[in-house]
Chains A and B, each alone.
Chain A
Amino acid sequence: MSVVEEVAATTGSAPLVDEEELARARRARIHRIAKWTLPSLVMVISILAWHLYVTLGEVPHYILPGPVRVASQMVEDWALLWPALLVTSRLTLLALAMAIIGGVALAVAFTQSKWAEMSFFPYAVILQVTPVIAIAPLLQIYVESAFVAALLCAWIVAFFPILSNTTIGLKSADHNLSDLFTIYGATRWQRLRYLAAPSALPFFLGGLKIAGGLALIGAVVAEFVIGRAGTGLGLASTLLEASYRFNFGRLYAALILISAMGVVIFALMSLISHLSLRKWHESAIRREG
């Protein structure tokens, strides 16, 4: 129940009015409205300012296209942008899916065997700290398909947060609960399934949020490096090509789409996280009052 209703209900039945509570309810209401209206307002003003700057300052469109031009270019080039968007989405989502499978599998292996963790964790770190942009040209040489090479690039970037978060999560089970499992003679599988996995879930979902964004960054970097060979990949390749042709309208259109993809991925991951944790985890529980 919202604070406003609560206060309304109590003030309705009782003659006592708590000024502090009323003020708090007012603040909460304003806060809720402002959360949506303020960013929308900022966006409208920015676009307007952009438009005015371009038209009044007579800025040539090959330096900075106005919002109207970008919008019309987006419509005009839709037949080109839409397939590119699909390619980049597929690349990002596949990389993310592989990062989840690989990251979780490795994390489970690491927590099941100390030897495996000692042997391989340093290499996971090395893979992570080596800038992907430096690995991409190599992948392009060794991997036949440009798509697969790009996929590998995006995967390398995305999998580490899932691996490291899930590994910490799997180890974070309550010690007393762990003792209880021992006393009740739990098998390794039972311990993983009923104790370690649920304990790791919030950590994993935190990693997933980061990995979603990183998968997109990995995909964009890969397209920049690998798509340059004229293989014509997704949105990022389109953006790069548009910049070579000084087609800034298309460049901005592609940029807006990439950024929108990032927002959608983040929103999706946040939604998944919220739905999985809302019943029990502190992070997903709204405090009343």
Chain B
Amino acid sequence: MGKPQLKVAERPPLLHMDHVEKTFAGDVVALRDMHLAVNEGDFISLLGPSGCGKSTALRLISGLLHPTAGRISWVGGQQGTDDLGVVFQEPTLMPWATVANNVFLPFRLQGKSYASVKDDILEALKLVGLEKFQNAYPRELSGGMKMRVSIARAMVTKPRLILMDEPFAALDEITRFKLNNDLLELKAKIGCTVIFVTHSVFESVFLSDRIVVMAARPGRVIRELTVDVPYPRHEEFRTSAEYAAYCREASEALQAAIGEHA
């Protein structure tokens, strides 16, 4: 399935964050001295309590915010508009547009016609299992289906990097597990790079090969773990001893992150 998997250390670099700091008005330090080297094909989770700056880091990478100090550099030049796909905590669909037109949005903003990208849209919808719903409106879909549309929209342009900001936090656990599995399958198929923000230890261990544990006040990275388990990972992985061990390790790191201020 998909491309051969490289070890983290062997992957070509994609993006660097060097000494990145972000201070908001009123001298709130949202992020302090963050370093992160993102490689092509990484699935990185930013794990931490609320207020640890994980969402801020995502907004900095997306270019919605600019660092107060330090720099974010893309390998191979400045980030273009088709380098990124974004999935928010809410599905963030346009209620007035059909599923297909929602997925068409990134292309539309690039000035492309629907006819010229119709196949890409159908393919993306097929990948998330919603090809039958292309003419439905978002209100007709369940929460999980809406999130799938949102994911289809993020990957339809085949971006170099997909940013996901707690995309499954508002879903029930059954839907969440299902979407976790599907997301890994998708990633294997299209071979993209993902940075995934979450506050769930279990989710981060199941999904990612790198976990960046962050602490709050001020937001900063305190530890990085590598989950050295090859993909594809299936339901069995959730019940394995290996999984439990990684979860304990990540939990302890997170406890340390919270404990410093508790």
Most chain B Cβ neighbours within 10 Å, of A174, A180, A281: A180
Query: Which chain A residues in 185-205 approach chain B with CB under 8 Å?
Result: 185-186, 190, 194-195, 198, 201
Q: Tell me if A285 is interfacial: C-beta within 8 Å of chain B.
A: yes
For residue B158, give the distance in angstroms from its CB to the closest CB of chain A.
Answer: 14
The answer, among A181, A183, A280, for a CB contact under 8 Å with B96, is A280
Q: Are A183 and B92 in contact (CB under 8 A)?
A: no
Q: Are B139 and A285 in contact (CB under 8 A)?
A: yes
Chain A residue contacts of B1, Cβ below 8 A: none
For residue A44, give the distance in angstroms from its CB to the closest CB of chain B.
Answer: 41
For residue B97, give the distance in angstroms from its CB to the closest CB of chain A.
Answer: 8
Q: Are A182 and B64 in contact (CB under 8 A)?
A: yes
Query: Which chain A residues in 160-190 approach chain B with CB under 8 Å?
Result: 174, 176-177, 179-186, 190
Q: Tell me if B120 is interfacial: C-beta within 8 Å of chain A.
A: no
Chain A residue contacts of B94, Cβ below 8 A: 177, 194-195, 198
Chain A residue contacts of B81, Cβ below 8 A: 183-185
With A176-B92, A280-B95, A285-B139 known as contacts, the answer to whether A183 contacts B110 (CB < 8 A) is: no
Chain A residue contacts of B109, Cβ below 8 A: 181, 184-186, 190, 194
Chain B residue contacts of A198, Cβ below 8 A: 94, 96-97
Give the CA-CA distance A282 to B84 in the complex, in Å: 32
Q: Are A183 and B86 in contact (CB under 8 A)?
A: yes
With A176-B90, A198-B96 known as contacts, the answer to whether A184 contacts B64 (CB < 8 A) is: no
The answer, among A183, A195, A279, for a CB contact under 8 Å with B62, is A183
Q: Are A179 and B64 in contact (CB under 8 A)?
A: yes
- As a 0/1 sequence over residues 106 to 128 of chain B, the CB contacts with chain A under 8 angstroms (1 = contact) are 10111000000000000000000
Chain A residue contacts of B232, Cβ below 8 A: none
Chain A residue contacts of B138, Cβ below 8 A: 280
Q: Tell me if B12 is interfacial: C-beta within 8 Å of chain A.
A: no
Q: Tell me if B88 is interfacial: C-beta within 8 Å of chain A.
A: yes
Q: Are A281 and B95 in contact (CB under 8 A)?
A: yes
Q: Are B137 and A177 in contact (CB under 8 A)?
A: no
Chain B residue, CB-CB nearest to A285: B139
Chain A residue contacts of B63, Cβ below 8 A: 182-183
Give the CA-CA distance A29 to B81 in the complex, in Å: 55
Chain B residue contacts of A201, Cβ below 8 A: 96
With A176-B90, A280-B139 known as contacts, the answer to whether A183 contacts B95 (CB < 8 A) is: no
Q: Tell me if B105 is interfacial: C-beta within 8 Å of chain A.
A: yes
- As a 0/1 sequence over residues 191 to 227 of chain B, the CB contacts with chain A under 8 angstroms (1 = contact) are 0000000000000000000000000000000000000
Q: Are A180 and B137 in contact (CB under 8 A)?
A: no
With A280-B96, A281-B95 known as contacts, the answer to whether A184 contacts B105 (CB < 8 A) is: yes
Give the CA-CA distance A58 to B138 in the complex, in Å: 64
Chain A residue contacts of B86, Cβ below 8 A: 179-180, 183
Chain A residue, CB-CB nearest to B95: A280
Give the CA-CA distance A280 to B102 in the complex, in Å: 13
For residue B81, give the distance in angstroms from its CB to the closest CB of chain A.
Answer: 4
For residue A186, give the distance in angstroms from its CB to the closest CB of chain B.
Answer: 5
Give the CA-CA distance A281 to B97 in the complex, in Å: 11
- As a 0/1 sequence over residues 63 to 100 of chain B, the CB contacts with chain A under 8 angstroms (1 = contact) are 11000000000000000010010101010101111000
Give the CA-CA distance A174 to B91 in the complex, in Å: 11
Query: Which chain A residues in 275-289 approach chain B with CB under 8 Å?
Result: 279-282, 285
Most chain B Cβ neighbours within 10 Å, of A182, A183, A185, A280: A183
For residue B232, give the distance in angstroms from its CB to the closest CB of chain A.
Answer: 30
The answer, among B84, B88, B92, B137, for a CB contact under 8 Å with A279, is B137
Give the CA-CA distance A48 to B122 in the complex, in Å: 65
Most chain A Cβ neighbours within 10 Å, of B109, B110, B139: B109
Q: Are A280 and B108 in contact (CB under 8 A)?
A: no
For residue A271, give the distance in angstroms from its CB to the closest CB of chain B.
Answer: 19
Q: Are B106 and A184 in contact (CB under 8 A)?
A: yes
For residue B11, give the distance in angstroms from its CB to the closest CB of chain A.
Answer: 24
Q: Are B92 and A174 in contact (CB under 8 A)?
A: yes
Most chain B Cβ neighbours within 10 Å, of A184, A198, A280: A184
Chain A residue, CB-CB nearest to B137: A280
Chain A residue contacts of B105, Cβ below 8 A: 180, 184, 194
Give the CA-CA distance A174 to B138 in the complex, in Å: 15
Chain A residue contacts of B139, Cβ below 8 A: 280, 282, 285
Give the CA-CA distance A223 to B142 in the complex, in Å: 54
For residue B26, give the distance in angstroms from its CB to the closest CB of chain A.
Answer: 21
Give the CA-CA distance A247 to B63 in the complex, in Å: 74
Give the CA-CA distance A56 to B88 in the complex, in Å: 74
Chain A residue, CB-CB nearest to B108: A194
For residue A258, give the distance in angstroms from its CB to the closest CB of chain B.
Answer: 36
* Contacts A/B (CB < 8 Å), 21 sampled: A176-B90, A176-B92, A179-B64, A180-B86, A180-B88, A180-B105, A181-B109, A182-B64, A183-B62, A183-B81, A184-B109, A185-B81, A186-B109, A194-B94, A194-B108, A198-B94, A279-B96, A279-B137, A280-B137, A280-B138, A282-B139
Interface residues of B (CB under 8 A from A): 62-64, 81, 84, 86, 88, 90, 92, 94-97, 105-106, 108-110, 137-139
